[in-house]
Amino acid sequence: MEGLEKFINQVIHGDALEVLKEIPDNSIDLGITSPPYNKKEKYGGWWIKEGGSFFYNHKLRYEDGKMIHPLQWLIKTKWNIWQEIIWNRKIAGNIRGWRFWQVEERIYWLVKGKPKEHPAVFPIELPTRIIASFLEEEDGIVIDPFCGTGTTLVAAKLLGKNYIGIDISEKYVEYARRRLERAEEERVRVLRELSFHKVELTFRERKERGFWGS
Protein backbone atom coordinates (compact mmCIF):
# COMPACT_ATOMS: atom_id res chain seq x y z
CA MET A 1 0.00 0.00 0.00
CA GLU A 2 1.32 3.42 -0.98
CA GLY A 3 2.66 5.35 1.97
CA LEU A 4 2.96 2.29 4.20
CA GLU A 5 6.13 0.71 2.83
CA LYS A 6 8.51 2.96 4.76
CA PHE A 7 7.04 1.76 8.05
CA ILE A 8 7.10 -1.99 7.42
CA ASN A 9 9.39 -4.02 9.71
CA GLN A 10 10.74 -0.87 11.36
CA VAL A 11 10.96 0.39 14.93
CA ILE A 12 10.32 4.10 14.71
CA HIS A 13 11.59 6.70 17.19
CA GLY A 14 8.84 9.24 17.63
CA ASP A 15 5.64 10.34 19.31
CA ALA A 16 3.07 7.66 18.51
CA LEU A 17 0.28 10.22 18.12
CA GLU A 18 2.27 12.01 15.42
CA VAL A 19 3.63 8.94 13.63
CA LEU A 20 0.21 7.28 13.48
CA LYS A 21 -1.13 10.26 11.53
CA GLU A 22 1.15 9.23 8.65
CA ILE A 23 -0.11 5.65 8.49
CA PRO A 24 -2.87 5.19 5.87
CA ASP A 25 -6.37 4.35 7.04
CA ASN A 26 -7.52 0.74 6.70
CA SER A 27 -3.98 -0.57 6.23
CA ILE A 28 -3.25 -2.60 9.40
CA ASP A 29 -4.63 -6.06 10.17
CA LEU A 30 -4.06 -6.30 13.93
CA GLY A 31 -2.86 -4.03 16.75
CA ILE A 32 -1.48 -4.97 20.18
CA THR A 33 -0.12 -2.49 22.71
CA SER A 34 0.45 -1.65 26.34
CA PRO A 35 0.73 2.16 26.55
CA PRO A 36 2.17 4.16 29.46
CA TYR A 37 -0.20 3.87 32.39
CA ASN A 38 -0.46 7.59 33.02
CA LYS A 39 -1.71 8.39 29.52
CA LYS A 40 -5.27 9.02 28.41
CA GLU A 41 -5.00 7.76 24.86
CA LYS A 42 -6.76 9.83 22.20
CA TYR A 43 -5.60 8.18 18.98
CA GLY A 44 -8.43 6.86 16.85
CA GLY A 45 -6.87 3.69 15.51
CA TRP A 46 -8.59 4.01 12.16
CA TRP A 47 -5.51 2.65 10.42
CA ILE A 48 -6.91 -0.76 11.45
CA LYS A 49 -8.83 -2.43 8.63
CA GLU A 50 -12.61 -2.75 8.78
CA GLY A 51 -13.40 -5.77 10.93
CA GLY A 52 -9.86 -5.74 12.34
CA SER A 53 -8.95 -5.96 16.01
CA PHE A 54 -6.83 -3.98 18.43
CA PHE A 55 -5.76 -5.49 21.77
CA TYR A 56 -5.21 -2.78 24.35
CA ASN A 57 -3.59 -3.60 27.70
CA HIS A 58 -4.17 -1.23 30.63
CA LYS A 59 -4.84 -1.29 34.35
CA LEU A 60 -6.94 0.65 36.80
CA ARG A 61 -5.39 4.03 37.55
CA TYR A 62 -5.78 6.49 40.37
CA GLU A 63 -5.87 10.28 40.23
CA ASP A 64 -6.40 12.42 43.31
CA GLY A 65 -7.33 9.32 45.26
CA LYS A 66 -10.08 8.32 42.81
CA MET A 67 -10.05 5.15 40.76
CA ILE A 68 -10.22 5.57 36.97
CA HIS A 69 -11.25 2.53 34.94
CA PRO A 70 -10.04 2.13 31.32
CA LEU A 71 -13.65 1.73 30.21
CA GLN A 72 -14.29 5.34 31.19
CA TRP A 73 -12.35 6.55 28.15
CA LEU A 74 -12.77 3.53 25.87
CA ILE A 75 -16.56 3.90 25.74
CA LYS A 76 -16.07 7.44 24.43
CA THR A 77 -14.24 6.14 21.34
CA LYS A 78 -15.65 4.62 18.15
CA TRP A 79 -14.25 1.18 18.98
CA ASN A 80 -16.59 -1.76 19.50
CA ILE A 81 -15.48 -3.20 22.86
CA TRP A 82 -15.78 -6.89 22.07
CA GLN A 83 -14.34 -8.38 25.24
CA GLU A 84 -12.59 -7.53 28.49
CA ILE A 85 -9.85 -10.04 29.35
CA ILE A 86 -8.39 -10.21 32.85
CA TRP A 87 -4.65 -10.87 32.95
CA ASN A 88 -3.43 -12.22 36.30
CA ARG A 89 0.10 -10.85 36.51
CA LYS A 90 0.66 -12.48 39.94
CA ILE A 91 2.89 -9.55 40.85
CA ALA A 92 2.10 -6.00 41.87
CA GLY A 93 3.70 -2.80 43.01
CA ASN A 94 2.08 -1.02 45.95
CA ILE A 95 4.88 1.08 47.33
CA ARG A 96 2.74 3.41 49.44
CA GLY A 97 0.69 0.59 50.93
CA TRP A 98 -2.60 2.50 50.92
CA ARG A 99 -4.50 -0.06 48.81
CA PHE A 100 -4.68 -3.83 48.50
CA TRP A 101 -2.20 -5.06 45.92
CA GLN A 102 -3.53 -4.98 42.39
CA VAL A 103 -2.26 -8.12 40.70
CA GLU A 104 -4.44 -8.00 37.61
CA GLU A 105 -4.56 -5.88 34.48
CA ARG A 106 -7.13 -5.56 31.71
CA ILE A 107 -6.75 -6.40 28.05
CA TYR A 108 -9.49 -4.97 25.85
CA TRP A 109 -10.34 -6.62 22.58
CA LEU A 110 -11.42 -3.66 20.48
CA VAL A 111 -12.98 -4.16 17.07
CA LYS A 112 -13.43 -1.72 14.22
CA GLY A 113 -16.98 -2.25 12.99
CA LYS A 114 -18.12 -5.86 12.84
CA PRO A 115 -15.36 -8.33 13.71
CA LYS A 116 -14.03 -10.90 11.30
CA GLU A 117 -14.84 -14.47 12.22
CA HIS A 118 -11.84 -15.90 14.02
CA PRO A 119 -11.42 -18.73 16.52
CA ALA A 120 -11.68 -17.31 20.01
CA VAL A 121 -8.96 -18.78 21.36
CA PHE A 122 2.91 -8.84 28.32
CA PRO A 123 5.11 -11.58 28.25
CA ILE A 124 5.88 -12.73 24.70
CA GLU A 125 3.36 -15.53 25.16
CA LEU A 126 0.49 -13.02 25.19
CA PRO A 127 1.02 -11.39 21.75
CA THR A 128 2.03 -14.81 20.41
CA ARG A 129 -1.37 -16.20 21.33
CA ILE A 130 -3.23 -13.21 19.90
CA ILE A 131 -1.32 -13.04 16.62
CA ALA A 132 -1.49 -16.78 16.02
CA SER A 133 -5.21 -16.82 16.76
CA PHE A 134 -6.15 -13.92 14.53
CA LEU A 135 -3.80 -14.01 11.59
CA GLU A 136 -3.06 -17.76 11.58
CA GLU A 137 -1.49 -18.57 8.20
CA GLU A 138 -2.50 -15.24 6.66
CA ASP A 139 -0.04 -12.53 5.74
CA GLY A 140 -0.66 -9.47 7.85
CA ILE A 141 0.78 -6.37 9.48
CA VAL A 142 0.86 -6.05 13.26
CA ILE A 143 1.30 -2.61 14.86
CA ASP A 144 2.31 -1.63 18.39
CA PRO A 145 2.26 2.18 18.71
CA PHE A 146 3.82 2.00 22.20
CA CYS A 147 6.20 -0.86 21.47
CA GLY A 148 8.59 -0.37 24.38
CA THR A 149 11.09 -3.23 24.40
CA GLY A 150 9.53 -4.76 21.28
CA THR A 151 7.76 -7.83 22.67
CA THR A 152 4.87 -7.65 20.19
CA LEU A 153 7.29 -7.06 17.32
CA VAL A 154 9.44 -10.07 18.19
CA ALA A 155 6.37 -12.29 18.40
CA ALA A 156 5.17 -11.01 15.02
CA LYS A 157 8.57 -11.58 13.43
CA LEU A 158 8.88 -15.13 14.76
CA LEU A 159 5.38 -15.89 13.51
CA GLY A 160 6.28 -14.65 10.04
CA LYS A 161 4.22 -11.46 10.13
CA ASN A 162 5.19 -7.93 9.18
CA TYR A 163 5.26 -5.41 12.00
CA ILE A 164 5.42 -1.70 12.79
CA GLY A 165 6.68 -0.47 16.16
CA ILE A 166 6.66 3.11 17.46
CA ASP A 167 8.05 4.53 20.67
CA ILE A 168 8.94 8.01 21.84
CA SER A 169 11.90 6.70 23.85
CA GLU A 170 15.07 6.42 21.79
CA LYS A 171 16.43 4.05 24.41
CA TYR A 172 13.51 1.64 23.94
CA VAL A 173 13.69 1.92 20.16
CA GLU A 174 17.36 0.88 20.15
CA TYR A 175 16.63 -1.91 22.60
CA ALA A 176 13.75 -3.19 20.46
CA ARG A 177 15.94 -3.14 17.35
CA ARG A 178 18.66 -5.16 19.06
CA ARG A 179 16.08 -7.57 20.41
CA LEU A 180 14.65 -8.09 16.94
CA GLU A 181 18.13 -8.93 15.67
CA ARG A 182 18.31 -11.66 18.35
CA ALA A 183 14.70 -12.78 17.91
CA GLU A 184 15.67 -16.43 17.35
CA GLU A 185 16.73 -16.62 21.00
CA GLU A 186 13.04 -16.33 21.94
CA ARG A 187 11.66 -18.84 19.45
CA VAL A 188 11.51 -21.60 22.07
CA ARG A 189 9.06 -19.59 24.19
CA VAL A 190 6.91 -18.80 21.16
CA LEU A 191 6.80 -22.44 20.04
CA ARG A 192 6.02 -23.56 23.58
CA GLU A 193 3.08 -21.15 23.77
CA LEU A 194 1.79 -22.32 20.37
CA SER A 195 1.95 -25.95 21.52
CA PHE A 196 -0.53 -25.19 24.31
CA HIS A 197 -3.22 -24.17 21.83
CA LYS A 198 -3.29 -27.13 19.49
CA VAL A 199 -6.68 -28.77 19.88
CA GLU A 200 -6.03 -32.51 19.73
CA LEU A 201 -9.08 -33.69 21.69
CA THR A 202 -12.60 -32.29 21.71
CA PHE A 203 -14.25 -31.27 24.97
CA ARG A 204 -16.36 -34.45 24.84
CA GLU A 205 -13.30 -36.65 24.31
CA ARG A 206 -11.48 -35.00 27.20
CA LYS A 207 -14.47 -35.51 29.48
CA GLU A 208 -14.87 -39.16 28.43
CA ARG A 209 -11.23 -39.76 29.31
CA GLY A 210 -11.74 -38.32 32.76
CA PHE A 211 -9.86 -35.06 32.34
CA TRP A 212 -12.82 -33.31 34.01
CA GLY A 213 -15.28 -34.59 36.55
CA SER A 214 -18.95 -34.86 35.69
For residue range 2-23, what is the model confidence (pLDDT) as tens digits?
689 999 999 999 998 899 999 9
Residue 214 belongs to a domain: no
Residue 196 belongs to a domain: yes
Q: What is the mean pLDDT of the chain?
A: 83
> Tens digits of per-residue pLDDT, 26-69?
999 999 998 875 455 555 677 899 889 999 988 888 788 788 88
Q: What domain range is 112 assigned to?
A: 5-92+99-208
pTM over 0.95: no
Residue 103 belongs to a domain: yes
Residue 168 has pLDDT above 80, yes or no: yes
Q: How far is it, in rounded angstroms, from Cα 176 to Cα 30?
A: 19
- Provide the CATH number for the domain around residue 74: 3.40.50.150
Band of residue 96 on the pLDDT scale cut at 50, 70, 90: low
Residue 39 belongs to a domain: yes
Describe the crossing of helices 187-195 and 125-135 by its angle, rounded to 10 degrees: 60
Band of residue 122 on the pLDDT scale cut at 50, 70, 90: confident
Residue 116 has pLDDT above 80, yes or no: no
Structural domains counted in the chain: 1
Residue 29 belongs to a domain: yes
Residue 118 has pLDDT above 60, yes or no: no
